[in-house]
Amino acid sequence: MRIDAEKCSGCEVCLPYCNVGAISLQDDVAVINEKVCVECWVCYRNQICPKDCFEPTPLESQGEVFKHVLSDPTITSEGTGVPGRGTEEAKTNDVTGRFPGDSYGICIDMGRPGVGAYMRDVEKVAMAVAGAGVRFASPKETPLSGLMTDIRNGKIRADFLDVHVLSVIIEGTCKREKLGPVLEALLKVEKEIDTVFSLGIVSMSVGDGDEPLLKTLQLYGMERPRRGKVNVGLGKPLYKG
């Protein structure tokens, strides 16, 4: 994204609209920091400029394409066929079957509007949980896995580490007995990154009332979940009505 300097009057209307604070005023003209910009196109799609100064620039590098796909909810990922951040919602598990009963689904949502996330921080978190027992979803299920040089350890291609995105999901599974080490790894790595993340845990009903999960969370000083999504399984592929 760029701003036509000849049209810009420096009215500052656009400044608060940027999700990551990439727009600033320099010499009475609005400019965009390309390294910070996540190519969400909010400024352009919402036509916020009274002089129509915003112009999309060609997305020439893979990094530019990647951050646009993850940051613009109107775009569909070519790899997964899913819009938004390119990852199917965990609540569709009754159809996808990605989270088996002997495991927990791990969904780490990194970055937020107003903050964003650099891929170097995403790599730190991915490698930390991989070492604790998380196995990542395939590239057909989440765009992030397609950037990993080794899906077993979470290491991301070096040319993507400075890419800034609005948010991205680290998604995988861990065996139920590995949840403790995964939580411990997250508690440690959160002090080493310059962004925020939230943790989602997918638990299939196996007749234990999720007591082992709740006890593990309590053991690591985490509050009992106050909200969640429940799927009763009516969308099973073999469901015949």
Mean pLDDT for the stretch of residues 17-28: 94
H or E element, residue 136 = strand 135-136
Between 21-25, 81-85, 230-234, the lowest mean confidence (pLDDT) is in 230-234
Average of per-residue pLDDT across 181-197? 97
Stretch 100-108: mean pLDDT: 91
- Look at residue 11 in the predicted model and tell me its pLDDT: 95
Q: Which two tokens stand for residue 227?
A: 């909200």
Domain with CATH 3.30.70.20 in the chain: 1-57
Beta bridge partners of 148: 156
Name the percent of the chain in helix, strand, coil, to the closest 5. 30, 20, 50
**pLDDT at residue 237 in the model:** 56
Contacts of 59-65 with CB under 8 Å at 24 or more apart are 62/159, 62/160, 63/159, 63/160, 63/162, 63/163, 64/39
Mean pLDDT calculated for residue range 228-238: 68
Confidence at residue 88, expressed as pLDDT on a 0 to 100 scale: 78
Residues written for the chain: 241
Q: Stretch 52-75: mean pLDDT, rounded?
A: 92
Q: Give the CATH architecture of domain 1-57.
A: 2-Layer Sandwich (3.30)
Q: Give the pLDDT confidence score for residue 238 in this predicted structure.
A: 46
pLDDT of the residue at 235: 65
Reported confidence tier of residue 240, pLDDT bands at 50, 70, 90 = very low
Q: Give the whole-number percent of the chain exceeding pLDDT 90.
A: 72
Greater model confidence, 41 or 77: 41
Q: What is the DSSP string of 21-76?
A: S-EEEETTEEEE-TTT-----HHHHTT--TT--EEPPP--SHHHHHHHHHH-TTPB
pLDDT beyond 50 at 66: yes
